[in-house]
Amino acid sequence: MSAITLRNVSKRFGDVVIIPGLDLDIRDGEFVVFVGPSGCGKSTLLRLIAGLEDVSGGAISIDGRDVTETPPARRGLAMVFQSYALYPHMSVGANIAFPLKMAGMDKAQIEKKVQGAAATLNLTDYLHRKPRELSGGQRQRVAIGRAIVREPNGFLFDEPLSNLDAALRVNMRLEISELHQQLKTTMIYVTHDQVEAMTMADKIVVLNRGRVEQVGSPLELYEHPDNLFVAGFIGSPKMNLVTGPFAERNGARTVGIRPEHLLIDRSGGELTGTAGVSEHLGSDTFIHIRLDDGQSLTARAPGEFRLNHGERVGLTPEAGRLHRFDEKGAAIR
Amino acid sequence: MATLHTKSAARAMMAPAVIALFVWMIVPLALTLWFSTLRYSFYGIDTPFVGFENYTYFLTDPRFLSAFQNTLILVLGVLFVTVVGGTLIALLLDQAFFGQSAVRLLVLAPFFVMPTVAALVWKNMMMNPVYGVISQVLAALGLPPVDWLNNYPLLSIIIIVAWQWLPFATLILLTSLQSLSEDQKEAAEMDGAGPLSIFFYITLPHMKRAITVVILIQTIFILSIYAEIFVTTGGGTSSSNLTFFIATLIQLDGDVGTASAGGIVAVILANIVSIFLVRLVGKNLEA
Ligand SMILES: Nc1ncnc2c1ncn2[C@@H]1O[C@H](COP(=O)(O)OP(=O)(O)O)[C@@H](O)[C@H]1O
Ligand SMILES: [Mg+2]
């Protein structure tokens, strides 16, 4: 159990400012996802919380205790690395037992805990193997096993699924969510994949160039993005951003409409254009449309939708689903 | 080598090198074997066949046992100093500090000094009991001087040879250290391991292979040390190794037959040592 608080935390590498100064409150038991494009400082922020990097300024506290100067091992957090960072010369069992051994726990108790963790993670048959003899998903589970045996106050995950193939990724995503339900421990999860963020998080922190763009639940971010960055980052396919007369008519510099909120009508609509390529997924059809003024939009039609390339179409945004942004990119509410 | 064709092509390509190496090795070996069965001396006229007589001479010579001992002490001593010292220096050099690349280059310098030169420098500049640097330092500390080469001949040679091989060991071990992923050390740190635990549980196992390579390569070269002994002590029972003793048999006694028998014995011993070594550490080299 632990609540994590960041106050004005900043990080510089030499002269390069990676995180200019950031406040964040993570409540006990929350599943928080840091999401943002590559290089925006997600890993750095996570490593600051872990204690693997020193802050350049500000304070970090866990459960009200200031841990800014505390070494990583005594922050009570466990981390799962993107590379898994398993110890290659140790068996799976020894890998999982390592933190307990370092804590000076006696052998019988270690054995019991390792067996317990292995059972939870379906690793019982592999305890004597070396990490290199395991598949990617199994290695991932060993890394998680090594984190959970310590019964830490919080888990830190740094893009743990990015080395897995797509099918396995969906599976592991569920397993990690399931683990969170069981343990009810605070988890901070870093990813650049907004789908992972949307599906797993209680709370998403959208980062851009070391700054927090918005904090909120997945649906809050989806329905009320604070600015253009969040609007463009959350949602798949991306939100359509339209400028020009249509935006001005709606009293904004830019208007955002999600593909799923565009109604397609061959006989015309508020926006008109020419159909381009259609992507048929079976469950949905994504249609790329070039507006008469040259801007491109994507519209999503449920199920199968036939539209020939070059056909004229009209588009009408669903009522109340327009997102309006001013010239600075901030949402107009 | 996927197909039969590439296989035979590969064989044909490798054949000249393999044949050259084989001839290179087998001719001297055969000649030595042949000489070891003759009474063959610089001072005798005929070279009659005497069977295993030379082997009996060689093995019962009191100098053989001391030479054998000295060889072992020399090899083990140098290996110990270079592996432990090399690991420590590599750990130091792996840290980021000002002038890192210059220091790395300096550490490598001894490796480029010829053995004879190194031994001369150590003998005259460092270990001389009167004006050697070590004596000066001892004197400055108020300690009596040490006559290294006379009182501790084998230890002196171990120091000199270790000094020469330390850069090699350091270089190989440093390369291995640098290939250890930062993630693993950080993971261990998060798992509550202190610097010593990280070294023994993470770093050292990672370096096992590099240490094996250092041990194997150095053993081969240290078994055949000659120049350092020749220049410093000039041999004698207290500092001759097998190589030097066998050379003495020819140079001082002019006894080619016994020296050849000694050569064969040395080859057999070296093979036994290497089989041991390979069995002991060779499995570290597998994947
Ligand atoms: N040790 C370091 N020294 C210098 N720059 C670094 C270091 N670590 C990260 N950076 C820089 O900080 C920025 C953010 O990195 P990172 O936190 O890894 O991004 P993310 O995980 O969001 O992809 C990058 O531009 C990276 O080059
Ligand atoms: Mg990262």
Give the domain CATH number at A302.
Answer: 2.40.50.140
Residue A262 maps to a domain: yes
The whole-angstrom distance between B76's CA and the closest CA on chain A is 27
How many other CB atoms are there within 10 angstroms of residue A117's CB atom? 24
Distance from CA of B177 to the nearest CA of A (A): 15
The tally of CA atoms less than 13 A away on the side-chain side of residue B21 is: 5
Q: Given pLDDT bands bounded at 50, 70 and 90, which one contains residue B287?
A: very low
Question: What is the reported pLDDT for B82?
Answer: 97
Instruction: Specify the number of domains making up chain A.
Output: 2
pLDDT above 80 (res B2): no
How many angstroms separate the Cα of A251 from the Cα of each of A302, B3, B26? 30, 73, 95
Neighbouring C-beta atoms of residue B32, cutoff 10 Å = 17
Residue B45 has pLDDT above 80, yes or no: yes
Q: How high does pLDDT run on average in chain B?
A: 90
Q: Do residue A69 and residue A201 come from a single domain?
A: yes
Q: How far is it, in rounded angstroms, from Cα B228 to Cα B110?
A: 14
CATH number of the structural domain spanning residue A116: 3.40.50.300
Q: What's the A12 CA to ligand 1 centre distance in angstroms?
A: 10
Size of interface A-B (CB pairs under 8 A): 54
The ligand whose atoms approach the alpha carbon of A18 most closely is 1
Is residue A48 within 8 Å of residue A28, measured between CB atoms? no
Residue numbers in A near B183 (CB within 8 A): 81, 83, 85
Total domains, chain B: 1
Specify whether A94 is located in the same domain as A55. Answer: yes
Domain range enclosing A246: 241-325
Q: Do A89 and B206 touch (CB under 8 A)?
A: yes
Cis before A225 (ω within 30) = no
> Same domain for A76 and A51?
yes
Residues A159, A293 within the same domain: no
User: Mean pLDDT, to the nearest integer, of B251-261?
Assistant: 91
CA B126 to ligand 1 center in whole angstroms:
50
Residue A166 lies in a domain: yes
- The tens digit of pLDDT for each residue in A172-187 reads 999 999 999 999 999 9
Q: Assess if residue B204 is contained within a domain.
A: yes
A159: helix, coil or strand?
coil
Q: Looking at the structure, do residues A264 and A150 belong to the same domain, yes or no?
A: no
Question: Are residues A199 and A91 located together in one domain of the fold?
Answer: yes
Residue A330 domain-assigned (yes or no): no
Q: Which pLDDT does position B96 carry in this prediction?
A: 82
Q: Is residue B126 part of a domain?
A: yes
Same domain, A117 and A225: yes
CATH code of the domain in which B222 resides: 1.10.3720.10
Is residue B121 a part of any domain in this protein? yes
**What are the helix (H) ranges across B179-241?**
182-190, 195-197, 204-223, 227-232
Q: Residue A47 CA: which ligand 1 atom is closest?
A: 17
Domain boundary among A185, A207, A231: A231
Q: Ligand 1: does its nearest atom lie under 6 Å from the Cβ of A262?
A: no
pLDDT at B187: 95
Instruction: Say if A30 falls within a structural domain.
Output: yes
Checking phi first, is residue A171 left (phi over 0); if not, alpha (psi -120 to 50) or beta? alpha
Which whole number is the average pLDDT over B37-61? Answer: 90
Distance from C-alpha of B222 to C-alpha of B216, rounded to nearest angstrom: 10
Burial B176-202 (b: 16+ CB within 10 A, else e): bbeeeeebbbbbbbbbbbeeebbbebb
Contact A102/B192 with Cβ under 8 angstroms? yes
Per residue in B83-98, pLDDT (tens digit) is 999 999 999 998 888 8
- pLDDT tens column, A190-245: 999 999 999 999 999 999 999 999 999 999 999 999 999 999 999 989 999 999 99
- Domain end call among A181, A202, A231: A231
- DSSP E strands in chain A: the ranges are 4-13, 16-26, 31-35, 57-62, 65-66, 77-80, 154-158, 186-191, 203-208, 211-216, 240-243, 254-257, 262-265, 271-280, 284-291, 296-302, 312-317, 323-325
Q: Does A174 touch chain B (CB under 8 A)?
A: no
Q: How far apart are CA A172 and CA A177, in angstroms?
A: 8
Question: Does the beta carbon of A231 lie inside 6 Å of ligand 1?
Answer: no
Of A199, A231, A263, which residue sits at a domain end?
A: A231
Q: Residue A116: inside a domain, yes or no?
A: yes
Kindly state if the Cβ of A13 falls inside 6 Å of ligand 1.
Answer: yes
The ligand with the least distance to the CA atom of A40 is 1
Rounded to an integer, the average pLDDT of B180-208 is: 94
Residue B11 included in any domain? no
What pLDDT, on the 0 to 100 scale, is given for residue A75?
A: 93
- As a whole number of angstroms, the distance between CA A321 and CA A298 comes to 15
- My answer on whether A73 and A190 are in the same domain is yes
Residues A209, A96 share a domain: yes
Q: How confident is the model at residue A157 (pLDDT cuts 50, 70, 90)?
A: very high
Three-class secondary structure of residue B47 per DSSP: coil
The answer to whether residue B10 sits within a structural domain is no
**Res. A108: pLDDT tops 50:** yes
CA distance B204 to B173: 10
Is residue B5 domain-resident?
no
Which ligand minimizes its atom distance to the CA of A209? Answer: 1
Which tokens belong to A299? 């519209």
By alpha-carbon position, which residue is closest to atom 21 of ligand 1? A43
Query: For position B98, what pLDDT does the model report?
Result: 86
Does ipTM exceed 0.85? yes
Q: Which amino acid is at A93?
A: G
Q: Is the pLDDT of residue B269 over 70?
A: yes
Per-residue pLDDT tens over the stretch A276-327: 999 999 999 999 999 999 999 999 999 988 889 999 999 999 988 999 999 9
Residues 6+ apart with CB under 8 A from B35: B256, B257, B260
Output the CA–CA distances (angstroms, integers) from residue A306 to A237, A272, A300, A302, B158, in the order listed. Answer: 19, 17, 12, 11, 86
Mean pLDDT for the stretch of residues A75-97: 95
Mutation site, B184, B191, B197, interface A, largest A CB count within 10 A: B191
If asked whether residues A301 and A221 sit together in one domain, one would say no
* Atom 19 of ligand 1: nearest residue by CA position: A39
Please check whether residue A74 lies inside any domain of the structure: yes
Instruction: Examine the domain organization and report whether A138 and A250 are in the same domain.
Output: no
- Search chain A and give the residue with CA nearest B204: A89
Ligand 2 ion: residues within 5 Å (CB)? A 43
Question: In a 3-state reduction of DSSP, which class is residue B54?
Answer: helix
Domain assignment present for A57: yes
State which residues form the domain around B207: 17-286
State in Å: Cα A16 to ligand 1 middle: 10
